[in-house]
């Protein structure tokens, strides 16, 4: 398969659908098995535990709502659930990504080869092992970018009244942005594009990346689908990289 010649998708949602197709390509499926098993084991267990605890956590969170806003409980209760699921989903997705990062990098590398027809510089498992410190450092950079912003959004929850209405919306937007960063980072990092440079390029095409990340966020909250969404997201993000960034960035940035 060579690089696609048809017009570029105008929506980030299209890249999620494209990822569903690409993940099933012969020769690509074998790079999906290990990260898929990691995701199923970790996220499956984590979300099962979460849903056994929600009935305890939600009433506690609702105690921060003033009595004069009690009539809004029917709106605020589902928003609180969505907020918790978004935070929980991103946290455990991040943990799964830390564990599966080397395999996702390899998946992105092999898929990029299929999409472009260009052989990667180095495809050996030994090179993957040697690259582990750099890969883990990259995951740490993403975590350092996420945590202070997440803490700020978490504090908004405790603003009486407006916090419970505003925080879930901000969480979703921020979660969508982080999902775009998380999964687009694999093909960017394979070419050693600096993290800050990657963020600037994604921000320059914010609409399509927020659409892509937003749909991934929604799918991450859906049982069963959330167990298989990670490899799909990596494949969709790799197609997005090939279509929109590879030609201009592949030789333009080095750490």
Comparing CA positions, the residue from 230, 205, 209, 206 lying closest to residue 219 is 230
Tens-digit pLDDT profile for residues 89-107 = 667 667 777 777 788 888 9
Say whether 82 sits in a helix, a strand or coil.
Answer: helix
Q: Look up tokens 């750099």; give the residue.
A: 134
Give the residue ranges of DSSP H helices in 63-161: 73-116, 125-130, 132-156
Tens-digit pLDDT profile for residues 142-168 = 989 988 998 888 888 777 767 777 888
The reported pLDDT for the residue numbered 1 is 43
The reported pLDDT for the residue numbered 20 is 93
Give the dihedral sign, CA 198/201/206/209: negative
Tens-digit pLDDT profile for residues 21-52 = 999 888 888 888 877 787 777 777 777 777 77
Give the residue ranges of DSSP H helices in the chain: 12-22, 33-62, 73-116, 125-130, 132-156, 162-190, 195-203, 206-220, 225-244, 246-249
């Amino acid at each position: 398969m060579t690089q696609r010649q048809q017009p570029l998708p105008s929506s980030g949602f299209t890249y999620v659908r494209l990822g569903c197709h690409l993940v099933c390509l012969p020769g690509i499926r074998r790079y999906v098995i290990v990260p898929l098993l990691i995701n199923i084991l970790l996220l499956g267990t984590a979300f099962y535990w979460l849903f056994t605890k929600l009935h305890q956590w939600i009433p506690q969170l609702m105690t921060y709502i003033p009595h004069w806003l009690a009539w809004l409980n029917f709106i605020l209760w589902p928003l609180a659930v969505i907020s918790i699921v978004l935070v929980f989903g991103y946290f455990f997705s991040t943990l799964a990504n830390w564990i599966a990062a080397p395999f996702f990098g390899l998946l992105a590398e092999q898929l990029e080869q299929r999409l472009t027809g260009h052989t990667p510089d180095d495809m050996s498992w030994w090179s993957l092992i040697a690259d582990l410190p750099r890969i883990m450092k990259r995951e740490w950079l993403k975590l350092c970018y996420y945590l202070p912003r997440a803490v700020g959004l978490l504090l908004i929850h405790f603003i009486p009244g407006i916090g419970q209405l505003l925080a879930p919306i901000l969480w979703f937007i921020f979660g969508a942005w982080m999902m775009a960063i998380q999964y687009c980072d694999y093909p960017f990092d394979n070419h050693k594009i600096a993290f800050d440079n990657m963020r600037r390029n994604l921000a320059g095409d914010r609409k399509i990346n927020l659409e892509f990340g937003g749909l991934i966020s929604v799918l991450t909250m859906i049982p069963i689908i959330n167990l298989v969404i990670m490899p799909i997201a990596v494949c969709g993000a790799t197609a997005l990289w090939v279509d929109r960034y590879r030609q201009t960035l592949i030789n333009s940035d080095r750490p």
